[in-house]
Structure 1
């Protein structure tokens, strides 16, 4: 059993020692000086390259689904009234998801089987290629905490950042959230191609693309782990975050212009507590924790609040704070019934690190079964905490929007139903 870093994927070199302490993976900017041992981030995310790395196998083993927790991290605002575009969680038919390895299931939007009533996540077979050695939060949300026969279109890609031109991922083939929106969602599921202006009759191009509308769909994004991990030590990180959220806001604007009206944003969890960072310096952990707080503040106060302020009663907006369940479980595994069986919250076992195991696999040298570790490897958690995150998302959606605006008429001159963000064009939705 070791708290060391995950092995690099083939062709990748782990970033360790003094080189890692000054390495820059962002597009611009110099680095601050950090002690040696920082930062094997790229090799960790490379292990879970989307659509290629980890096929979580459920063969021969069944997951035990514990009862839902009685506690909750969901916060509500009684002044937030859902608008007419929100039918309630039970009225949602379609979910479109964007993110990184914490979210990916390996779904390929261009092939069959596509999501359907009988196969709600489409391809690959459930639970897909995840980084949790079992279902992840998208899987659980779709099949355990769903309140309807939900069909989920999960475009998340392992290693993703918001925009590769701002923060580079571990490999140039990684699809950023910008790519997920421009290259997959827009051409695959709207009447437009990769911009508001592309009205080619070949779109939507995804097989069996659903007839989704603003009031029967929800759009969720969980991103930022790699943006932070690949840039937090740089001395121009404030400028980097500014650029990230300019693009993030524009992408949300594109989704709005395409017809999206219900948005859920998940915050970055306390990754400074992962084994990779526990093996690093106090200085590195402090710097990363501060950048996480800044990033999450921008999610709440700029991205989510700005979306609601711009569009008022035309949108419903949620922020789900993943810091709360992660910290609760890392402090006390009994905080949720789903995680009560965890025995180790600070380390991982190399023998389990690549996943693709039965959910309760036990290797003697690891001390306890894989599902009794919080961390599968030095960056990615096992499936129990994903179960909790999914429950929290479902509770938030059930409770109603928690991002409010004092302007109930749409605000900022957007009565035409078109986002002023999201590039040029006049897409009015589907």
Structure 2
């Protein structure tokens, strides 16, 4: 059964996304489908996020879009790329592999096409956060990337041609890791840098090997550090305050950024793809 076909083909674009809690909206592909006036489909207008409101995906399809953009968001909180390589916090968490499986099962057809669809992938926060301290991290990172790009290849093989990749942000500056001290922060920061460098390298290899593919890399370090280094400019008392209202501090909880940061991410993505999808 095809659950992802919209009711109209006029000026419709699709944003199909994969990730973890930084991207989750709680979308279920078997329930209410995205449509004009409700581009996220389900569970509600903003979705089930970790920001207290919209996350970056919500802002992109609700605030920064120039045409109707329908969001099919398969992101799942706690996700790693491959659960057999880096275990998530619970066995029920859908990995990147599982998320692509879901997409393939409910693969959109008809008005969905290579040209009107952008695939967005923001993985890595949990891959790095759950493994940076391991002695075999460098070897493991190569295996993670192999698995990651096997999934990107699957998306290409079913017609995906436009791919947006988001890097891992400076989670060492989250209140959770600030509280663990500078040595732990430095170790995590190094691992994140390694991950992001590997990601950029693999993206280039993927693009070279797959005719007609278009790739964009958005460095999430930039908006995060902009806010962290200038918290009062965004209405926060400091760089580590937490408020579940999602708008008074940079952090919604000790590991998840607030709407303030997500809005900056969305603005950056919209700028990067201006004239293409935004």
Same fold (TM over 0.5): yes
Name stretches of at least 5 consecutive residues in structure 1 with no aligned partner.
1-90, 191-208, 353-358, 360-369, 402-430
Q: 1:238 to 1:399 in 2, by over 3 A?
A: farther
- Contact map agreement 1:137 1:387 (CA 8 A) in 2: yes
Whole-Å Cα distance in 2 between the matches of residues 341 and 287 of structure 1? 30
Aligned to 1:151: 70
Does residue 255 of structure 1 match 2:160? no
**In the alignment, structure 1 residue 225 sits paired with structure 2 residue 125:** yes
CA contact (8 A) 1:346 1:374 kept: yes
Gaps of 5+ in 2: 1-10
Corresponding position of 2:252: 376
CA drift of 1:141 comes to: 0.4
Bigger Rg, structure 1 or 2: 1
How many residues align? The count is 267
User: Bigger relative contact order, structure 1 or 2, given CA contacts below 8 A and separation 6+?
Assistant: 1
| CA distance in structure 2 between the aligned counterparts of 1:274 and 1:172, rounded to whole angstroms | 25
Task: Compute the displacement of 1:118 (Å).
Answer: 2.7
Which of 97, 104, 123 is matched with 1:186 structurally? 104
Check the 8 A contact 1:161/1:177 in 2, yes or no.
yes
User: Where in structure 2 are the equivalents of 1:4-83 lying within 5 Å?
Assistant: none
Give me the whole-angstrom Cα distance separating, in 1, the residues matched to 2:123 and 2:75: 9
- Give the match for residue 396 of structure 1: 272
* Aligned 8 A contact 2:12 2:70 in 1: no
Q: Please state which structure has a larger fraction of its residues in strand.
A: 2
Which of residues 220, 223, 227 in structure 2 aligns to 1:329? 227
Alpha-carbon contact 1:270-1:327 (below 8 Å) kept: yes
* Aligned equivalents of 1:241, 1:92: Cα separation in 2: 37
TM-score by length of 1: 0.60
Cα shift readout 1:293-335 (whole Å, capped 9, x = no counterpart) = 0111111111x111211124x011100000011111100136x
Q: 1:134 to 1:210 in 2, by over 3 A?
A: farther
Contact 1:104–1:158 (CA under 8 A) maintained in structure 2: yes
d(CA) in 2 for partners of 1:278, 1:151: 37
Q: Which residue of 2 is the match for residue 305 of structure 1?
A: 204
Gap change, CA 1:210 and 1:227, over 3 Å in 2: farther
Conserved? CA contact 1:92–1:218, under 8 Å: no
1:136 to 55, 69, 76: 55
